[in-house]
Amino acid sequence: TFSEAEKAAIVSILGKASGNVSALGAEALERMFLGFPQTKTYFAHFDLSHGSTDLQTHGGKVLGALAEAAKHLDNLEGSLSQLSDLHAYNLRVDPGNFSLLSHCILVTLAAHYSAHFDAVTHAAFDKFISVVSQILTSKYR
Ligand code: HEM
């Protein structure tokens, strides 16, 4: 569960990001693919070149899902249930990859919103994305 201060910080940073999800999401994905090339194996069907439509579209979906989840901080499990099924049963993404993408999303937000990204925001966003990742990897057997 999140404190009121954490909730406010999460809603605020994702509110800033919500107008620019495709570009920010594409950047986060690109950082992941460059920093952790093994993650590219899940996206063999994508054009992974810099700024590609695939990166923009998928990045928009990922950050859009996070912005949407921030509206349901008291019921993340319920609101992420379909995405959780998808990642566990269909995509079978190795759970270890979630911390890699989480890190890249955090770095991207910190780089774009540096004035806003204080220690409280950093800690709250880190907690938020770990909880989201836990939920998305909770159905693996
Ligand atoms: C698809 C979110 C982590 C691999 C998706 C979709 C969303 C999403 C919203 C689209 C679902 C749809 O089209 O209905 C997230 C979030 C993550 C996360 C919020 C963690 C914070 C990961 C990780 C990987 C991954 C770590 C692998 C490294 C994929 C793949 C697809 C997908 C391969 C399908 C892409 C396609 O073919 O269109 N994810 N994801 N996801 N995700 Fe994730």
The residues lining ligand 1, judged by C-beta closer than 6 Å to any ligand atom, are 39, 42-43, 58, 61-62, 65-66, 83, 86-87, 91, 93, 97-98, 101-102, 129, 132-133, 136
- In order along its 141 residues, the chain shows pLDDT tens digits of 999 999 999 999 999 999 999 999 999 999 999 999 999 999 999 999 999 999 999 999 999 999 999 999 999 999 999 999 999 999 999 999 999 999 999 999 999 999 999 999 999 999 999 999 999 999 986
**Which mutation among 62, 71, 136 tests ligand 1's pocket best, with the greatest number of atoms within 8 A of CB?**
62
Amino acid letter for position 87? H
* Distance in Å, CA 5 to ligand 1 centroid: 28
CB atoms within 10 A of CB 1: 8
Cα angle for residues 126, 85, 36 (degrees, 5° grid): 50
Closest C-alpha to 22, from 50, 49, 62 = 62
**Residue 50: DSSP 8-state:** T
Which ipTM score applies to this complex?
0.98
pTM above 0.90, yes or no: yes
Q: Tell me the three state secondary structure of residue 117.
A: coil
Tokens read off for 56: 């923009």
